Amino acid sequence: MNVLIYGSGQLAQMMYLSAVPLGIKVFAVNVADHTVVDPISKIKLDMSIEQAIDLADVLSVEFEHVPEDLLEQAQSSGKLYPSMEAILTGADRVREKNVLEKLQIGNSKHQIITHVDQIDEAVAQLGEKLILKASRDGYDGYGQWRLSNKQALPELKQQLAELDLQTVPLIAEQMVPFDRELSLLGVRSLQGDIAFYPLAENLHYQGQLHVSVAPAPAIDSQLTEQAQSAFTKLANEFDYVGVLAVEFFQVGDQLLVNEIAPRVHNSGHWSMQGADTSQFENHMRAITGLPLGNTQANGKCAMINIIGCDDYSTDLLSINNCHLHLYGKSVRAKRKMGHINLTGQTYPELAEVMTTLAKYLPIEHFPKLLDEADKLA
Ligand code: ATP
Ligand code: MG
Ligand code: MG
């Protein structure tokens, strides 16, 4: 089997690594320059995208922001999983909100903004604490603006005046006073079977994921049921095939969907050590028509993103139950360079490994690590 992935970053790399034992070969499209590359070395292969599509049994994506002409070409081959519609819904917040409303899945109150003056109306309707999100191409908190009070409104409108909101509208969302953030990853097979990973708790800093803990502590069956029900509605709506991620805000005992990602997801990286079958392997299994693997967690796991730094000692590998996954990138502010997976039998045991790890890291780049270790201890 050959699989072609659109996008050639770390997610393609980790899909490749999980596919090798299954006898599946993976190559990738660099969507910036339309070349076909090896997902590990990133070396260009002597092949056009058309040739790669012919050679591939299955096509998939590592991220949702694939240019639409490429997606159309992929969809028309009849080999793309998940479908173009599912991918576009993850790529466009207007479509995403429409689907959530249609399926009656709880999400944050919002309005669509196609002209800056509509922000006044949004403040009147939703209140002065707002988060404005570009409907397309945002990730890691990029393409977002926050309003914390009415006084800051004129300046914000001035800032946004240069955007072409007719072409790329904004979503004005009510700032949700959430208790915490959770995500549910699941995988749906070609036959429509669904397997769920346990909910993960996600800690963000400046709009970017820093730490995930899975299974999330203090989850009752009612929360799991809400999350799985939202997931199932979405996955069935798209006749989805592959791994799908749904991000939630927990407010009391209610879950609101923040956004969906039609792909493997950073908050599922823990599954490489922490689950029987990783999200990457399960995605490859699903899209190639293989049986799904067990999604159960082995003990407790924490995933620590390495963001914007490379000045740590690889002596951290001497810690038991500590695994490093590097993406082979040069360092840049806010760039995800890799992640570290930690496991323990219990939360206090996991907390101990986290505290030990902190001694090996430039802690200013890991603002959530010790806080979270303290909470789990
Ligand atoms: P990702 O990298 O997850 O794709 P993104 O750029 O698409 O990120 P969101 O997930 O929409 O952005 O938002 C990033 C983070 O900002 C959220 O995880 C959350 O911490 C915060 N946030 C987003 N929307 C809201 C909201 N309505 N209320 C409160 N916080 C929010
Ligand atoms: Mg997103
Ligand atoms: Mg998000």
Q: What is the pLDDT of residue 139?
A: 87
What number is the ipTM of this complex? 0.99
Please give the structure tokens belonging to residue 333: 């502010």
User: How much is the mean pLDDT over the chain?
Assistant: 97
**At residue 197, does pLDDT exceed 90?**
yes
| Domain assignment of residue 53, yes or no | yes
Determine what percent of the chain is predicted with pLDDT higher than 70: 100
- By most ligand atoms within 8 Å of CB, the mutation choice from 210, 259, 260 for ligand 1 is 259
What confidence tier does 377 reach under pLDDT thresholds 50, 70, 90? very high
* CA distances in angstroms from 16 to 11, 138, 170, 207, 280, listed in the order given: 8, 25, 35, 28, 8
| Same domain, residue pair 147 and 190 | no
Residue 42's Cβ-count burial label (10 Å; 0-12, 13-18, 19+) is middle
Q: What is the pLDDT of residue 202?
A: 98
- pLDDT for 61-106, tens place per residue? 999 999 999 999 999 999 999 999 999 999 999 999 999 999 999 9
| Same domain, residue pair 287 and 310 | yes
- pLDDT for 157-182, tens place per residue? 999 999 999 999 999 999 999 999 99
Point out the annotated binding site for ATP. Answer: 93, 133, 138-144, 173-176, 181, 204, 258-259
| Domain assignment of residue 227, yes or no | yes
Distance CA 375, CA 323 (A): 22
Nearest Cα residue to 273 out of 217, 317, 227: 317
What confidence tier does 34 reach under pLDDT thresholds 50, 70, 90? very high
Q: What is the pLDDT of residue 182?
A: 98
| Domain assignment of residue 311, yes or no | yes
Residue 33's Cβ-count burial label (10 Å; 0-12, 13-18, 19+) is exposed
Whether 207 is in the pocket of ligand 1, judged by its Cβ within 6 Å, is: yes
Whether 176 is in the pocket of ligand 1, judged by its Cβ within 6 Å, is: yes
Nearest Cα residue to 100 out of 173, 166, 165: 173
| Domain assignment of residue 359, yes or no | yes
What is the three-class DSSP state of 86?
helix
Q: Return the ligand 1 atom nearest residue 173 CA.
A: 27
Nearest CA to ligand 1 atom 16: 207
Segment 191-202 mean pLDDT: 98
| Same domain, residue pair 169 and 244 | no
Range of the structural domain that residue 191 is part of: 180-376
| Same domain, residue pair 25 and 142 | no
Whether 139 is in the pocket of ligand 1, judged by its Cβ within 6 Å, is: yes
What confidence tier does 358 reach under pLDDT thresholds 50, 70, 90? very high
| Domain assignment of residue 297, yes or no | yes
Whether 230 is in the pocket of ligand 1, judged by its Cβ within 6 Å, is: no
What confidence tier does 251 reach under pLDDT thresholds 50, 70, 90? very high
- pLDDT for 132-154, tens place per residue? 999 999 888 889 999 999 999 99
What's the gap in Å between 12 CA and the centre of ligand 1?
23
What's the gap in Å between 140 CA and the centre of ligand 3?
7
Distance CA 128, CA 116 (A): 15
In DSSP notation, 220-267 reads: -HHHHHHHHHHHHHHHHHTT--EEEEEEEEEETTEEEEEEEESS--GG
What secondary structure letter does DSSP report for 21?
A: G
The closest ligand to the CA of 144 turns out to be 1
Number of neighbouring beta carbons within 10 Å of residue 72: 11
| Same domain, residue pair 166 and 207 | no
Whether 157 is in the pocket of ligand 1, judged by its Cβ within 6 Å, is: no
**At residue 221, does pLDDT exceed 90?**
yes
Distance CA 49, CA 62 (A): 16
What's the gap in Å between 289 CA and the centre of ligand 1?
33
- pLDDT for 255-309, tens place per residue? 999 999 999 999 999 999 999 999 999 999 999 999 999 999 999 999 999 999 9
Distance CA 267, CA 240 (A): 19
**CATH at 244:** 3.30.470.20
CA dihedral over 205, 207, 211, 215, signed as positive or negative: positive
Q: What is the pLDDT of residue 141?
A: 84
Sequence-distant contacts of 347-355: CB under 8 A, at least 24 apart = 347/217, 347/300, 347/376, 347/377, 348/376, 348/377, 349/300, 350/213, 350/299, 350/300, 350/301, 350/302, 350/376, 351/375, 351/376, 351/377, 352/377, 353/302, 353/319, 353/320, 353/321, 353/322, 354/302, 354/304
